[in-house]
């Protein structure tokens, strides 16, 4: 078509359709990211559920937040990398996804350290919960990378370890408390002979 001044009028239907398709793709991508975060929260909740039943400081909600948060940071990191590479491909920007993982690990390490409690004597509690939080962050990262089977199987294996190995540790602890020991000043322990006498250090 020609304009009144003799110039050509560019059709706008193609441009509008491209914009609408871009908006639809953007919305679809956001819904997919939300689904990934939800799946990460569910996978992390499997580990947190066991910690909740065990009455630990970090339970169901904490593990769900850790997994979903790790997935969110990974997803947003990928979006940032794509955005800056598309908007400024010649600006010489370099992106390293490994740094996102490093930032997540550092942040989760501080969170896990807060669950470790030093009680009287030599007893330390919260190490297993701190390790489960650290592990749950890895589950969230795996889900964000599309490793759904790996994350699900790893979460199930973690629950089995917490249940089975936890029961074994409790049994060993009970057996240890029934054995007679003599504690010396240097902190070492030595079993007592069956005759009733005490061994010399």
Q: pLDDT for 159-181, tens place per residue?
A: 999 888 877 777 777 776 776 65
pLDDT of residue 7: 52
pLDDT band, very low/low/confident/very high, at 24 (cuts 50, 70, 90)? low
In the chain, domain spans:
14-159
- Burial class, 9, CB count within 10 angstroms (exposed 0-12 / middle 13-18 / buried 19+): exposed
Q: What percent of the chain has pLDDT over 70?
A: 66
pLDDT band, very low/low/confident/very high, at 43 (cuts 50, 70, 90)? very high
What is the four-CA torsion angle of 72, 75, 76, 79, rounded to 10 degrees? -170
Q: pLDDT for 120-169, tens place per residue?
A: 666 777 888 899 999 999 999 999 999 999 999 999 999 999 888 877 77
């Amino acid at each position: 078509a020609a304009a009144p001044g003799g110039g050509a009028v560019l059709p706008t239907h193609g441009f509008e359709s491209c914009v609408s398709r871009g908006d639809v793709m953007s919305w679809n991508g956001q819904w997919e990211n939300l689904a990934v975060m939800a799946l990460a929260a569910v996978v992390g909740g499997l580990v947190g559920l066991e910690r909740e039943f065990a009455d630990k400081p970090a339970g169901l909600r904490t593990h769900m937040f850790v997994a979903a948060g790790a997935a969110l940071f990974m997803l947003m990191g990928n979006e940032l990398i794509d955005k800056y590479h598309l908007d400024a491909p010649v600006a010489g920007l370099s992106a390293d996804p490994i740094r996102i993982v490093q930032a997540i690990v550092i942040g989760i390490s501080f969170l896990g350290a807060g669950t470790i409690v030093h009680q009287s004597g030599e007893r330390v509690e919260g190490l297993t919960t701190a390790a489960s939080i650290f592990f749950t962050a890895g589950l969230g990262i795996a889900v964000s990378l599309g490793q759904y089977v790996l994350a699900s199987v790893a979460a199930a294996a973690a629950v089995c370890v917490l249940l089975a190995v936890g029961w074994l540790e409790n049994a060993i602890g009970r057996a240890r408390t029934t054995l007679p020991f003599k504690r010396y000043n240097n902190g070492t322990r030595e079993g007592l002979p069956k005759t009733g006498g005490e061994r010399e250090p």
